[in-house]
Amino acid sequence: PALEGALAVEQRLATKLVTQAAAGAAQLESVAGPEAARGRLDWCDRLQRLQSGVAAPSTGTVAAVAAQLSAVVLIVRIGSLVEALVVTDHHVRPDPGEATRLLEEAACARPVGLDRARLEQAVQRAAPLVRARLAALEDARWRASDRDRLGRRLIPWVLGAARRAAQRGDARQLSRLDALVSRLALGMTAGEELLLEQLLARRTPLSVRDVLAWHAGLPPLPEGGVAPRAELVVAVAIQPQRPA
């Protein structure tokens, strides 16, 4: 039982880290924060609890509920990341904690007809922030035309390994090497390049298996090497209640 409990805690923490990283948070929130919030679950716990009872929404799902305040929660997929944006009359900001709080309230609120003009205005106000996020993702990747980068200098070596795999008739290895060449040719983020530099700095001779393991540990490449794009996943409009 003690081992099972420890494994369950480890799994929960791993899930929290993945969720929070995907939403763009810099670090885990602490439940031992301000006195007023002492003992409160952090937003990852609350979001998981909220998500557990509902089916995954289809892309572009919109809804509206009645409440005292006025806000729109936009869940946007930007490249491989997910951003939770809160749009009010005064600001537009990425705030997964506040977005979770608003979604918790919306789950218990009364559904109302969607004010599409208000939703469209919220999307338009959030557009500059989303475009800035997209630009940052593109700027983080070095262009394939930069031939001085370390990854591009490895391409001839990997192609040699691919030719040997083809001669052996090893289709599986050839497919893996082809994907590796695509990554090296398309460019890498600064973090990916740093990991490759650390691999090459080892005293042991570099092998194809080592580089394939490095490649396998990185996020998958976009299909066709296309630029990242933004996609609205969910929009929840929280609309002020009108007097009867």
How sure is the predictor about 88, in pLDDT bands with cuts at 50, 70 and 90? very high
Output the pLDDT for position 107. 84
Output the pLDDT for position 15. 54
DSSP 32: T
Q: Is the pLDDT of residue 18 over 90?
A: no
**Mean pLDDT of all residues belonging to the chain:** 75
Query: Higher pLDDT residue, 69 or 137?
Result: 69
Name the token pair of 229.
Answer: 């794009």
Residues 44-83: pLDDT tens digits? 777 777 666 655 555 678 888 998 888 999 988 887 778 8
* Domain parsing of the chain, residue ranges: 150-222
End-to-end CA distance of the chain: 56
Residue with tokens 């106000």: 125
Chain-centroid distance, C-alpha 91: 23
Residues 22-45: pLDDT tens digits? 444 444 443 344 444 433 457 777
